[in-house]
Structure 1
């Protein structure tokens, strides 16, 4: 089975184009270093829930939308190797928290081990 890094984050609607540009650049870098798949999505049918929801998870503001993204790897070991290479890639220089077109403090992320996969 593979291994997946997943992300949920708020993106100001005015910054969606900048986020897409950043995601394209980042995706190319992850893929060049060995990721199997890199996917970035923007909310299309995501409503606030009564108890939990994507909007609530990132404390979504009225002028924001939710991004849901994932990167697929062969295994956790492969993920760790690829991510180490990505973090050393000079093309990511200057892409710290201040340069992001979203609030990194409200980003949710983690690694996931699939339990069912087709």
Structure 2
């Protein structure tokens, strides 16, 4: 099953287009290293939590949107090899300046436990038939 690298970041709303352009510039590099899918989403509706929520997780201010994104890799080994190679890839030096405060980014790697687009989860107590 695939491996997902997920990200949350607060981006100034005024820099939405700059964020989109920088994300689009990175996609071919991720794909070259084996990424199957790159998804970038811009917050529209985020409920305020009492203990935590997406905005609190990245300390978003009222003039910032939360970006929730993920990169799908064939497996964790492909991601780890890509991550190691990307550390020395000179193309990252030519990327536009990131339009957000990277210190407030939250990220992590995840193993999917089921995916409705493929059915390996059917053996885990779920069934696609009724």
Q: Same fold (TM over 0.5)?
A: yes
CA distance in 2: counterparts of 1:17 and 1:76, whole angstroms: 31
SS in 2 for 1:114: coil
CA distance in 2: counterparts of 1:110 and 1:117, whole angstroms: 18
Task: Provide runs of 4+ in structure 1 moved above 3 Å.
Answer: none
Q: How far did residue 91 of structure 1 move?
A: 1.7
Alignment partner, residue 67 of structure 2: 67
Alignment partner, residue 88 of structure 2: 88
CA distance in 2: counterparts of 1:44 and 1:27, whole angstroms: 23
Instruction: State yes or no: 1:7 paired with 2:7.
Output: yes
Alignment size in residue pairs: 116
Q: Deviations over 1:61-89 (max 9, x none)?
A: 01100000000011111111122233332
Alignment partner, residue 39 of structure 1: 39
TM-score by length of 2: 0.82
Instruction: State yes or no: 1:117 paired with 2:112.
Output: no
Alignment partner, residue 101 of structure 2: 103
- Range with greater deviation from structure 2 (4-13 or 44-53): 44-53
SS in 1 for 2:21: helix
**Max Rg structure:** 2
CA distance in 2: counterparts of 1:60 and 1:67, whole angstroms: 10
SS in 2 for 1:93: helix
Gaps of 5+ in 2: 117-130
TM-score by length of 1: 0.90
SS in 1 for 2:87: helix
Q: How far did residue 94 of structure 1 move?
A: 4.6
Gaps of 5+ in 1: none
